[in-house]
Amino acid sequence: MAIMWPKRIPYEVRNNELRAAECKVFDRLERQLDSSFVVFYSRPWLGIRPDGSEIDGECDFMVAHPDLGILAIEVKGGLISYDPGSDEWSSKDRFGFRHRIKNPVGQARSSKYQLLAKLRDSADWHSRFIAARHGVIFPDSARPSGDLGPDAPLRIFCFLEDFETDLGEWVRSRFGDTADTSGTEHLLGRDGLKALEKLLAAPFQLNVPLGHYLAEDERALSLLTTEQFRILAALEDVARAAIAGGAGTGKTVLAMEKTARSAGAGLRTLYVCFNRPLAEYVARELRGVQNLGVTTFHGLCKRLSAAASIPEPTGVPEPKLLKDVYPELLVQSLEIKPQERVDCVVVDEGQDFEAHWWAALDAMLDPAGAARLYVFYDSNQRVYGDALNLPREVNLIPVRLTLNLRNTRRIYDVVRPHYRGFPIEPVGPEGTPVEWIEADTSSEQYSKLVQVARRMTGAERIPPEEIAVIVGTNNRLQQIAASGRLSGFPVTRCDVEANGSITVDTVRRFKGLERSVVILLVDPELVDDAELTYVALSRPRSHLVLLGPSPLLKRLRELQQQSTA
């Protein structure tokens, strides 16, 4: 039996009455030719005319043999007729319906030359002159008495009699009836046959860049986050509120929007957070907004104590300085500089604030002004316990954010086991699968990190500024960022605008920030720290890559499987 491409005729073709003749030819060629023949069925081609315009066609059958050459065949079923007055060909089916058809001889000849030209252009083809023929099969039409035209001698046709008797013999005769005697024709050969197979039957799979999918997910997440702004409308008449939600519920986006709206309404407004890179990011996003200040809590304490000319005490250990001394200096500074008070304070990542800091922040509010305080904090009791530790006198109305709007559902499935608190519902797009890449040694991890970064910025078409590599420790950070480049792009820390760079930083510094794609280097320090794990896994919006030793990845996967069981 001949080798057929495709192996079987598709169901929709087999059951199409208009393709019945082709199906009969397919079956007989398969049965009546031996395995040295390769038959290609229904091969479309696109060519160029001399004037540069395109011409397209289809070769019903291309028969190839390593010793004989190639034969392009056109098949026309039914009763065939030709009208020289109109130069039109037609066929009449068994029900008497007439169909206009193309010149089958011209089609077969054109297919032969077009496919020869494409074969010559193939990088797999070794240039030589081979035997190339064309022919036409009329499986339902009886043989006429003479040639059908100067370009249509009877020998190039297979009529009903030949078809019913031995189609295979007719094919062989077409290869041999005009054998070259000059010695200029060479064998197609096995190499030529392979080149032809690669041309006409090569499998392929087109890559859809990950960036294309992520762009769609990003648009969906952006719309969802905008919808969350309705909560701000409900806060218009509330002067003091504590807004709680898990990672991905849009706390920072809402905090920024509330800050901008308050400042836009003419209120002297201050945005305060714990993490300096987050403050730097918010300051960039809100630059140009009037009546607004953006700062970290300790930055605020330092600035006002300097303005009030209160010296910083010496000899105090830094942990005590940050935890206890700076808040006291802030309160003292406001007594000296009451004009530094504001109308509205928006606190982001409030779970990072100590209980006794709230009195200092409350003192920032001008009692003669609007005195508005809005605190956004994480409700994950697994990590932060009761989280806010607000003294009762601060008197904030609780508000819950119950929708995860930042992460795709695939990412949220990985974050879910690390959250415990009031229910959070993921409403984002399904997203792409999380990547789990095993790499047990530091050198192997770096090598695979480079490969992933190269793939993301190359084939996946993701802008470098949308990629962050985050790690658990400063030592690991130094190892990765030492060269200053990754996959050909400069690397930058998360407190610097990324433009054309890949962000590389620690989980702690990246807290409150996000990227479309996050590559997380998993290490024991990170997995053993509940807060770091929770923060790290929730940083990507659209795609997460986990890269690290197989035992650590296994632990994370088992937690995910248990939470979804």
What CATH code is carried by the domain that includes residue 484? 3.40.50.300
Looking at residue 476, its pLDDT comes to: 92
Asked if the structure places residue 214 within a domain, the reply is no
Angle at 105 between CA 40 and CA 58, to 5 degrees: 35
Same domain, 266 and 174: no
The residue segments making up the domain with residue 185 are: 3-201
Looking at residue 300, its pLDDT comes to: 97
Same domain, 153 and 28: yes
CA-wise closest residue to 439 among 544, 538, 552, 526? 552
Same domain, 242 and 197: no
Whole-angstrom distance, CA of residue 26 vs CA of residue 227: 59
User: ω before 464 within 30° of 0 (cis)?
Assistant: no
Looking at residue 179, its pLDDT comes to: 46
Task: For the chain, give the percent of residues with pLDDT over 90.
Answer: 64
State both tokens at 382: 């697994």
What mean pLDDT comes out for the span 473-498? 92
Average pLDDT for the chain: 89
Looking at the structure of the chain, the number of domains it has is 3
Looking at residue 178, its pLDDT comes to: 47
Whole-angstrom distance, CA of residue 440 vs CA of residue 442: 7
Same domain, 252 and 392: yes
Dump pLDDT digits (tens) for 274-319.
Answer: 999 999 999 999 999 999 999 999 999 999 999 999 998 988 999 9
Instruction: Tell me how crowded residue 347 is: count the other CB atoms within 10 A of its CB.
Output: 25
Asked if the structure places residue 415 within a domain, the reply is no
What residue has token string 């069925």? 41
State both tokens at 351: 């779970």
Contact predicate 132/185, CB 8 Å: no
Same domain, 132 and 22: yes
Dump pLDDT digits (tens) for 106-161.
Answer: 999 999 998 988 888 888 888 888 889 999 999 999 999 889 989 999 999 999 99
Asked if the structure places residue 420 within a domain, the reply is no
pTM: 0.70
Task: For the chain, give the percent of residues with pLDDT over 70.
Answer: 93
Q: Label residue 438 by pLDDT band (50, 70, 90).
A: very high
Asked if the structure places residue 447 within a domain, the reply is yes
Asked if the structure places residue 414 within a domain, the reply is no
Dump pLDDT digits (tens) for 511-527.
Answer: 999 999 999 999 999 99
Compute CA distances 193 → 68, 129, 173, 322, 440, whole Å: 11, 14, 20, 77, 46
- The beta strand positions in 297-371, using DSSP E, are 344-347
Dump pLDDT digits (tens) for 382-423.
Answer: 888 765 566 555 678 889 999 998 999 999 999 999 999 999
DSSP class of 365: B
Contact predicate 92/77, CB 8 Å: no
Same domain, 75 and 155: yes
Asked if the structure places residue 210 within a domain, the reply is no
Same domain, 62 and 195: yes
Instruction: Tell me how crowded residue 133 is: count the other CB atoms within 10 A of its CB.
Output: 21
**Which of 39-48, 367-376, 473-482, 539-548 has the lowest average pLDDT?**
39-48
